[in-house]
């Protein structure tokens, strides 16, 4: 009889004991492009380490100055090739990717908006800087 498979938590604990834990995420904001439409504030390009670059991530800014970063999306087109509208009459978009869970999405958003504040400190104050 085979022993039971270890859980994900047990595997991570073993990795941490052996290798010293998971490395901190290497995420950098490379550039941003101001938009200023409702809560949509900027489009940013981010790089994960040296291997993945995401263009046109969306930066939203709430009236209370809380910022969040979302993965890029693409327009939903109708059968005639026109940009489809949702039930509220707003242009419809479909995500180009997704995180495996809400915690990962929140962490990406937290890191991305933090780096944006560091690299472009005036950007989230409404001042366009490059």
pLDDT tens digits, residue range 61-80? Answer: 877 777 888 899 999 999 99
Ranges 13-22, 58-67, 121-130: which has the least confidence: 121-130
**How would you class 57 by CB atoms within 10 Å of its CB: exposed for 0-12, middle for 13-18, buried for 19 or more?**
buried
- Report domain 24-75+83-125's class: alpha beta
CB contact at 8 A, 46 and 40:
no
Query: Does the reported pTM lie above 0.85?
Result: no
Q: Which whole number is the average pLDDT over 117-126?
A: 68
At residue 43, the pLDDT reads 87
- CA 65 to chain centroid, in Å, comes to 17
Q: Mean pLDDT score of the chain, rounded to an integer? A: 81
Q: How confident is the model at residue 83 (pLDDT cuts 50, 70, 90)?
A: very high
Q: How confident is the model at residue 130 (pLDDT cuts 50, 70, 90)?
A: very low
**Which 3-state string (H, E, C) describes 17-65?**
HHHCCCCCCCEEEEEEEEEEECCEEEEEEEEECCCEEEEEEEEEECCCC
Domain ranges of the chain: 24-75+83-125
* β partners of residue 93: 75
Q: State percent of the chain over pLDDT 70.
A: 88
* β partners of residue 57: 44
């Amino acid at each position: 009889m085979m022993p039971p498979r270890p859980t994900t938590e047990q595997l991570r604990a073993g990795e941490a004991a052996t290798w010293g834990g998971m490395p901190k995420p290497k995420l950098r904001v490379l550039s941003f492009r101001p938009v200023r439409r409702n809560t949509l504030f900027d489009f940013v390009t981010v790089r994960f380490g040296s291997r993945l670059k995401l263009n046109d991530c969306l930066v939203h800014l709430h009236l209370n100055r809380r910022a969040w970063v979302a993965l890029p999306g693409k327009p939903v087109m109708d059968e005639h090739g026109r940009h489809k509208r949702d039930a509220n009459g707003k242009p419809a978009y479909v995500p180009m990717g997704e995180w495996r869970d809400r915690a990962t999405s929140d962490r990406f958003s937290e890191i991305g908006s933090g780096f944006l504040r560091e690299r472009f400190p005036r950007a989230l104050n409404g001042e366009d800087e490059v």
